[in-house]
Chain A
Amino acid sequence: MTDPTPQTRPADETAHPITRPGAEVHLGVFFQGVNHTTIWSDPESGSQTDFASFERVARTAERGLFDAFFLGEGLRLRESRGRLHDLDVVGRPDAITQLAALAAVTERIGLVATQNTTYNDPVDLARRLASLDVLSGGRAAWNVVTTDNAWTGENFRRGGYLDHARRYDRAEQVLATARRIWDAWPDADRPDGSVARVEAHGDLLDVAIDPTTPRSPQGHPVIFQAGDSAQGRDFAARSADVIFSRHGSVLADALEFAADIRARAVAAGRPEDDVKIFPGTAIVVGDTPAEAEEKARWVARQQVTPATALHVVGTIWAEDLSGYDPDGPLPAHDPVVAELGGEGGSSTTGARTHEVAARWRALAEAEGLSIRDLVIRVSGERGFVGTPSAVADRLVRFVRTGSVDGFNISPWIIPSGLDDIVDRVVPELQERGAYRTAYTGTTLREHLGLRAPLTRRGAGAADAREAALAGV
């Protein structure tokens, strides 16, 4: 749950200069699988696990000439006060396995697997990603994420051994090891035709292997990174091709984020446009502005069910509020916890609890909000809401002011949630000359307009190569 963010009015956005007049909008789709933003109670909501749902979304995205289809990763089911969280969509397939099946029924769209660097072995991960990349003809990507909590580690051989401060060190070493494995197979750079042995010895991993996976048409899988901390941003600037950001709803905020990432990329010895920026977002369209607003309100109420509203507030108050009236006021008493425990899979910490509660109470009193209305109000950015034409104008403005390269759209309903965007928004973008009318490449690297992998750019990019292989 994010904090309330003031919505910038689209009118204010025109104040920012167009710096990339010919730039095109790129789109990806995120099939989320686990969260409360995927509506499951509506009759249109389909299975979250049947292959048909995934195929429908992926094919729709490919029809809409999207760059990529994303899947998340599960390592442990969320819990709340020691019990399984039961209010949200949950239960999903393994990302790489599912994407491999999708690779055979799609032709061009990129396939992005979120994979954790803490609870995966580098050799398994590098090999499975390379396998997906070869089988898909160069369409694979790895969205690199980190975890450190021991709670998640309880499902794994290695357990919860990693210090929070070192989660990106491990990520860096795992990624550098993967790159060495992907570079081991012969090609023009290894004309003797032999496969190089990889010895990677960092302080957080130890790998010695003769790799078995040949190169894919795109050299390496594309690297996405999704962390927003300073450490995460530096990691992306050194090592990623694309950053999957949270800064795509408010233009001024998106511009600030872009400037920060570009500065960090340059500091890492890379061209400033070397890291593409893809914020996550949602899109709601209607025939008129009023209809779109009405639909957005409906979506928000479907996402925040009465039970979910009580759960969210209960998370902050650290007590079971299921007896409260979701259409009534917040609890009259303050949260009594000092430190919040047992909220598996959540990043809310005890120290922030009182602060959040005070802010929510002030907001609810000022605006006369019920528990459910308050939770809807604080549920963060709502993405883009409007007519297809107005939404397209804003998407183009975000790209052409240089704040983002594209958007990663999370449909709020599966499997039909992308239809409106592909059928109504994409044509508007194309009319504006701001969206491809056909795929021009076959690999994901080509779709995104990326340069060669960081380790494969020749002598002129020695610094970037060194940074990408640091740590092992």
Chain B
Amino acid sequence: MSGARLARTVRHAENAGLTFVTFADAVVPAVPGSPASARLDAVTRAAFVARTTTAVGLVPEVPTTYPEPFHVATQLASLDLTASGRAGWLASVTPGDAAPAAYGRAPVADLDREARDVVQVVRDLWDSWEDDAVVRDVATGRYVDRDRIHRVDFVGASFSVVGPLITPRPPQGQPVVLARSGDVAGPGRDGERLVDVVLVGGTDVAAARAAARAVVAADPGARAVVEVQVVLDAAGRTGADRLAELDAAGPWAPGTALRHVGDPAGLLALLAELADDPAVAGVRLLAASLDTDLPVLAREVLPALRADRRTAAPRSGATLRDHLGLTRPADRFAGAARATA
């Protein structure tokens, strides 16, 4: 839970050659009342490692359901600035009654609609400053060109935001948006993509590959990433033994992710099978224990993937968009005021 430990873990992930790390989050704990549920805010954790790393993508989970969209947009734009274009956003939904009780609000009935509205307005806000809005024109005394900063005037089903953002456009233009399949249904208001990277799963490899193909069929520009839980043979114990022990403490919900329990060679075979489908752009490895599984991934899995050219270590100075093959989007408001002036 300390800053030093967090920095060490993420640096290890970067050195292992992972493309991005995600920071899971939830405002309410899985097991109320237990110190085992300790968890710090995801954006704050990602920001803490923004300058202790130089290449790896940083992807905090931020729910769409209750937080203030304006703050979410500001925080993620700030993370992208601080991390020099390496920020992503895992946009999630928060069902249940615990979160609305924490926020003092009625439960959101339509999670899909709320998620769509929030991702839409956050994307609008990221574009509310054009890239060249700061002009520093000494002759006229203008620091910014007000024609290049736009209100968003977003009106959603449960909230509205006028904008513009308080933060200039982030380095990637739009930080990369990730979401689990089905959590944020696009397209956006003008037919644009709301989710850049869709996280998919399946009961087996074939199902996961099919899910990935469905993502790409619906939007050829989107990326499909398969979630894989891993419990590796490590520290002299089998993955199966480790999983049994974990489950005894509280079952590890499989969710929709694939799961590999066993040796690194088996994981490599699974990953190769996934990667053979061109629709699969990558995998999100969900380690049972970072302390235990990450060293094995770094030592025995990632080098083999690189040797087979199935992945490349992220490059310092490149953006997360670069690493995922996503282009930097044009600003949706660019030229709007001038066009009508």
Taking Cβ atoms with an 8 Å cutoff, the residues of A that contact B are: 40-41, 48-51, 55, 74-77, 83-84, 86-94, 96-98, 100-101, 103-105, 119-121, 123-124, 127-128, 130-132, 134-137, 154-157, 185-186, 193-195, 197, 205-210, 212-214, 305-308
B47 to A101, Cβ gap below 8 A? yes
Write out, one digit per residue, whether chain B residues 31-67 have a CB within 8 A of any chain A CB (1) or not (0): 0111101111101110111111000000000000011
Q: Decide: B33 and A210 in contact? CB cutoff 8 A.
A: yes
Q: Name the A residues within 8 Å of B164 (CB-CB).
A: 77, 84
- Which residues of A sit under 8 angstroms from B133, Cβ to Cβ? 91
In this assembly, does B19 line the interface, its C-beta being within 8 Å of a C-beta of chain A? no
Min distance, Cβ A343 to any Cβ of chain B, angstroms: 16
Say if the beta carbon of B140 comes within 8 Å of chain A: yes
Beta-carbon contact of B146 and A86 below 8 Å? yes
Q: Are A123 and B142 in contact (CB under 8 A)?
A: no
The distance from the CB of B173 to the nearest CB of chain A, in whole angstroms, is 15
9 A-B residue pairings within 8 Å (CB atoms): A88-B143, A90-B144, A91-B144, A91-B168, A93-B167, A97-B74, A100-B48, A213-B40, A214-B1
Q: Is B277 an interface residue (CB 8 A)?
A: no
Q: A208 to B98, alpha carbons, bound, how many Å?
A: 8
Interface contact A208-B44, CB-CB below 8 Å: no
Interchain CB contact under 8 A, A307 and B82: no
Contacts of B252 in A (CB 8 A): none
B313 near A: Cβ within 8 Å?
A: no
Q: Which residues of A contact B290 (CB under 8 A)?
A: none
Residues of B within 8 A of A193 (CB): 35
- Assuming the contacts A91-B134, A209-B27, A210-B33, asked whether A123 and B163 have C-beta atoms less than 8 A apart, the reply is no
**What's the least CB distance linking B114 to chain A, in Å?**
10
Within the complex, which residue of A49, A119, A136, A157 is in contact with B81, where a contact is CB–CB below 8 Å?
Answer: A49
Q: Report whether B67 and A124 are in contact in the complex, using a CB–CB cutoff of 8 Å.
A: yes
Within residues 85 to 104 of chain B, which ones have a CB less than 8 A from any CB in chain A? 98, 101-104
User: What are the residues of chain A within 8 A of B129 when measuring CB–CB?
Assistant: 91
Are the CB atoms of A86 and B50 closer together than 8 Å? no
- A137 to B5 alpha-carbon distance, docked (Å): 12
What is the bound-complex CA distance between A98 and B129, given in angstroms? 19
A132 with B44: CB separation less than 8 A = yes
Given contact pairs A87-B143, A306-B141, A131 touches B104 in the complex (Cβ within 8 A):
no
Contact with A along B173-213 (1 / 0, CB 8 A): 00000000000000000000000000000000000000000
- Complex contact A155–B43 (CB within 8 A): no
Distance in Å: Cβ of A317 to nearest Cβ of chain B: 18
Which stretch from B154-162, B243-251, B278-286 is at the chain A interface?
B154-162
Is there an interface contact between A97 and B39, defined as CB atoms closer than 8 Å?
A: no
Contact B70 A156 (CB under 8 A): yes
B101 neighbours in A (Cβ, 8 Å): 207-209
The digit string for B127-144, where 1 denotes a CB below 8 A from any CB of A, is 001000110101011111
A154 CB contact (under 8 Å) in B3, B71, B160: B160
Q: Tell me if B75 is interfacial: C-beta within 8 Å of chain A.
A: yes
Task: Decide: B47 and A41 in contact? CB cutoff 8 A.
Answer: no
Q: Give every chain A residue within 8 A of B145 (Cβ-Cβ).
A: 86
Given contacts A94-B77, A98-B78, A104-B51, 4 further A-B pairs with CB under 8 A are A84-B149, A90-B144, A103-B3, A121-B103
Question: In the complex the two chains form, is B34's CB within 8 Å of A307's CB?
Answer: no
A101 engages B51 (CB within 8 Å) = yes
Chain A residue with the shortest CB-CB distance to B83? A101
User: Which residues of A lie under 8 Å from residue B166 when comparing CB positions?
Assistant: 74-77, 91-92
On whether the beta carbons of B48 and A195 are closer than 8 Å, the reply is no
Inter-chain contact A124/B27, CB cutoff 8 Å: yes
Complex formed: what's the CA distance from A185 to B40 in Å? Answer: 13
Query: Is A212 a contact partner of B28 (Cβ separation < 8 A)?
Result: yes
| Residues B28 and A86 in contact, CB atoms below 8 Å apart | no
Which residues from chain A contact B74 at a C-beta distance below 8 Å? 74, 93-94, 97
7 tightest Cβ-Cβ pairs between the two chains A and B: A307-B141, A74-B166, A206-B104, A93-B78, A100-B47, A210-B32, A131-B40
A405 vs B26: C-alpha distance in the bound complex, in angstroms? Answer: 40
For B79, what are the chain A residues with a Cβ–Cβ distance below 8 Å? 97
Chain B residues, Cβ within 8 Å of A84: 144, 146, 149, 164
> Looking across the interface, which residue of chain B has its beta carbon closest to that of A184?
B33
B117 to chain A, nearest CB (A): 11
Nearest CB of A to B248, in Å: 20
Contact B75 A94 (CB under 8 A): yes
Chain A: which residue is nearest B169 at the CB level?
A91
The chain A residue with its CB closest to the CB of B168 is A91
Closest CB of chain A to B295's CB: distance in Å? Answer: 23
Closest CB in chain B relative to A460 CB, distance in Å: 29
Known contacts A186-B35, A210-B32; is A128 also within 8 Å of B68 by CB?
A: no
Picked from B71, B144, B167, the residue with its CB within 8 Å of the CB of A86 is B144
Smallest CB separation, A214 vs chain B (Å): 5
* CA of A48 to CA of B32, assembled, Å: 42
From known contacts A94-B75, A134-B2, A307-B142, infer whether A40 and B45 are also in contact, taking CB-CB under 8 Å.
no
Task: Tell whether, in the assembled complex, residue B134 and residue A123 are in contact, meaning their CB atoms are under 8 Å apart.
Answer: no
Least CB distance from A149 to B in Å reads 13
Specify which chain B residues have a CB less than 8 angstroms from the CB of A98 in the assembled complex.
47, 78, 82
**B303 adjacent to chain A (CB < 8 Å):** no
B216 within 8 A of A: no
Q: Do B81 and A195 touch across chains, with their CB atoms under 8 A apart?
A: no
Contacts of A210 in B (CB 8 A): 28-29, 32-33, 37, 98
B69, CB-defined interface residue at 8 Å? yes
Query: Which of A51, A75, A98, A101 has the most CB atoms of chain B within a 10 A radius of its CB?
Result: A101
B6 within 8 Å of A (CB atoms): yes
Q: Which residue from chain B places its CB closest to the CB of A155 in the assembled complex? A: B70
Tell me which of B34, B50, B67, B104 contacts A194 (CB under 8 A): B34
A156 to B71: give the CA distance in the assembly, Å: 9
Does B324 have its Cβ within 8 Å of any Cβ on chain A? Answer: no
* Chain B residues within an 8 Å CB radius of A51: 50-51, 81-82, 84
